[in-house]
Chain A
């Protein structure tokens, strides 16, 4: 998974609970991303971070917050989980030829009851 780690791998929450999904990279890349993947929907961007200390909203940011406190880590927080947030969450980094290739972590499978 191109040096991208995600924790936890699986999580079950009750509606209203909060949690933080963690993503870490070991290759000193600037840009990091959070996506969610739902059946038949492909991957949709939640938030991204072009560099340490900066974050921007993607296509589906509602209900999520992110934090990029250092270059290595990019976390995604659900303050009050809802069943609609049941999904598989992927973190990605940007690297490669002219820095326009995305590489993904293994994912976190979240179920909200």
Chain B
């Protein structure tokens, strides 16, 4: 099955720093989604991207849909302790029925 290449696998940063993570795929996607998962919880949708080149913000989060349709990145500005968690990217294929997930980026914010 297809999985997306997500990097980095883990990050340890100081509170207040900016964070950047990305996902790449060998396939073209119709939609890119970014999720955050807290321990013991289900993934929560942060940002959805629908068009190549689209740049979308949600508070301190900014994500972009790559021009080639094969990649996406997520930036978090001025990180805070509650940003701690695992971040997943997901891509929706053009058939529309299936989503493919990255392996996650574990973020630790040091106060």
Instruction: List A residues at the B interface (Cβ < 8 Å).
Output: 1, 4, 31, 33, 40-45, 48, 50, 56, 58-60, 90, 96-98, 100-107
- Please determine whether A43 and B33 come into contact, CB atoms closer than 8 angstroms: no
Contact between chains at A90 and B97 (CB < 8 Å) = no
A43 with B88, Cβ < 8 A, contacts A97-B50, A101-B48, A105-B42 known? yes
Q: Is B78 an interface residue (CB 8 A)?
A: no
Question: Known contacts A96-B48, A102-B90: does B99 contact A45 (CB below 8 Å)?
Answer: yes
B88 touching A103, Cβ below 8 Å: no
Complex Cα gap A31–B95 (Å): 13
Known contacts A101-B33, A104-B42, A107-B41, A42 near B98 by CB under 8 Å? no
User: How far is it, in angstroms, between the C-alpha of A98 and the C-alpha of B51 when the chains are bound?
Assistant: 12
Q: A59-B1, A106-B42, A107-B42 are in contact. Are A45 and B30 (CB under 8 A)?
A: no
**B interface residues (Cβ-Cβ under 8 A, vs A):** 1-4, 6, 30-31, 33, 35, 40-45, 48, 50, 88, 90, 92, 96-99, 101-104
Q: Inside 8 A of B44's CB, which chain A residues have their CB?
A: 104
A100 to B103, CA, bound (A): 20
In contact, A102 and B33 (Cβ under 8 angstroms): yes
Note all chain B residues with C-beta closer than 8 A to A4: 42
Number of A-B residue pairs with CB-CB distance less than 8 Å in the complex they form: 64
18 of the cross-chain contacts (CB-CB < 8 Å) are: A31-B97, A40-B103, A42-B102, A42-B104, A43-B90, A45-B99, A58-B1, A59-B1, A59-B2, A97-B48, A100-B31, A100-B50, A100-B96, A101-B45, A101-B48, A102-B99, A104-B35, A107-B40
Chain B residue at minimum C-beta to C-beta distance from A96? B48
Query: Min CB distance, B32 to chain A, in Å?
Result: 10
Contacts of A101 in B (CB 8 A): 31, 33, 45, 48
Closest to A60 in B: B1
CB proximity of B9 to chain A, nearest CB, Å: 9
Give min CB distance, A5 to chain B, whole Å. 11
Contact A90 B98 (CB under 8 A): no
A103 touching B98, Cβ below 8 Å: no
Known: A97-B48, A100-B92, A102-B99. A42 touches B42 (CB 8 A): no
